[in-house]
Amino acid sequence: MTNDPEWETVAEPTNEAAAQIVLGLLQSESIPSRVNANVPVPGLGVSFRVQVEKGFASRARNVLANAAVSEDEMTQLAINSPPAD
């Protein structure tokens, strides 16, 4: 028996870049989160779900609602960001 947390989906971005930005936003607020992707072929994700530990779902939705950044804006930010070291 494990003590793995239960996860709840709080966002479903349409691409990996947007999913990573949402993930970073939540993690910057100390919200335990992860990206769950359906990737049938490496590098070709079909769907992305940003999930948080169940007890943090309400807070995560509030953070995302107050971020007021559209998915298109998140994608553009990701494209224009320099690569991580």
What is the pLDDT averaged over residues 4-30?
A: 91
The verdict on domain 7-77 having CATH code 3.20.20.70 is no
Q: Which residues fall within 8 angstroms of residue 78, CB to CB, at 6 or more apart?
A: 17, 18, 20, 21
pLDDT of residue 82: 60
Domain chopping of the chain, boundaries:
7-77
pLDDT digits 0-9 by tens, 31-82 = 999 999 887 777 666 889 999 999 999 999 999 998 866 667 766 666 666 6
The pTM score is 0.72
Contact 48, 16 (CB under 8 A): yes
Under DSSP, the state recorded for 32 is: -
pLDDT of residue 25: 93
pLDDT of residue 69: 66
